[in-house]
Amino acid sequence: MSITTTNSYDVHSLVKLYDQHSSGIFRYAARLLGNGDLAEECVSETFSRFLQALKKGHGPAENAKAYLYRVAHNWITDYYRNDRNTISLEIEEPADSDEGPSQVVSRKLLRHRVRTALLNLPYEHQRVIELRFLDNLSHEEAAQELGRSVEATRALQYRALKSLRELLYEAEE
């Protein structure tokens, strides 16, 4: 979808844009936030900010999808910067019958460490990890999403995983 279409305030184009990208942004936010309610809030705020930018004559120059993910990323980063968030020890998913409370808490803390480390990566590193390992896209599909060559996507993935390992190692110390 071109910015010309979205800047014209064509309701049908905006609805189509929302339909195409809201579920992906929700999955992205849910992975990083670990909470469906917060992910919904992120999606809502992302599209609200998008519409506000359009009203002011701003917004994406070409790629509305990349713009939306960047807005969602910024919202998530802002959320983690605030002191209002704490690690919830509530179990949001059914626990394995063999898991004890300490194992559930350990798994939850590990997820929080990984989410925090991911948020400290550059946006493109986060995006390639999400596409390759969370969305299970091939190198070719991820390259197409990122607008890069397959070789560049492989190199980006290598650097992203190396940085993630380093951040997780630092967090253990």
Tell me what pLDDT residue 95 has. Answer: 52
Q: How far apart are CA 28 and CA 70, in angstroms?
A: 11
Confidence of residue 154 (pLDDT cuts 50, 70, 90): very high
Give the domain CATH number at 127. 1.10.10.10
- Express each pLDDT in 5-43 by its tens digit: 444 557 888 889 999 999 999 998 888 888 889 999 999
Does residue 99 sit in the same domain as residue 169?
yes
Does residue 77 sit in the same domain as residue 15?
yes
**Contact present, 93 and 59 (Cβ < 8 Å):** no
Does the structure show a pLDDT above 90 at 158? yes
Paired tokens of 74: 């910024």
Does residue 167 sit in the same domain as residue 112?
yes
Does residue 3 sit in the same domain as residue 59?
yes
Does residue 169 sit in the same domain as residue 124?
yes
Does residue 65 sit in the same domain as residue 99?
no
Q: List all residues 6 or more positions away from 156 whose beta carbon is below 8 Å from its beta carbon.
A: 124, 125, 128, 146, 148
Q: Which of 31-35, 54-58, 62-66, 122-126 has the highest mean pLDDT?
A: 122-126
159 is in which domain, residue-wise?
A: 91-173
Q: How far apart are CA 33 and CA 77, in angstroms?
A: 10
Does residue 49 sit in the same domain as residue 12?
yes
Q: How far apart are CA 48 and CA 25, in angstroms?
A: 13
Domain end among 64, 85, 106 = 85
Does the structure show a pLDDT above 80 at 172? no
Does residue 69 sit in the same domain as residue 125?
no
Does residue 81 sit in the same domain as residue 103?
no
Does residue 57 sit in the same domain as residue 14?
yes
What total number of domains does the chain contain? 2
Does residue 41 sit in the same domain as residue 57?
yes
Domain end among 85, 101, 127 = 85
Give the domain CATH number at 20. 1.10.1740
**Contact present, 80 and 116 (Cβ < 8 Å):** yes
Q: Chain-centre distance of CA 69, in angstroms?
A: 7
- Express each pLDDT in 89-138 by its tens digit: 344 455 555 777 777 777 777 888 888 888 888 989 988 998 898 888 89
Does residue 106 sit in the same domain as residue 28?
no
Would you call 123 exposed, middle or buried from its count of C-beta atoms within 10 A (0-12, 13-18, 19+)?
middle
**Helix 11-33 vs helix 36-55: angle between axes, to the nearest 10 degrees?**
140
Domain end among 50, 85, 120 = 85
H helical segments located in 56-132:
64-81, 101-119, 123-129
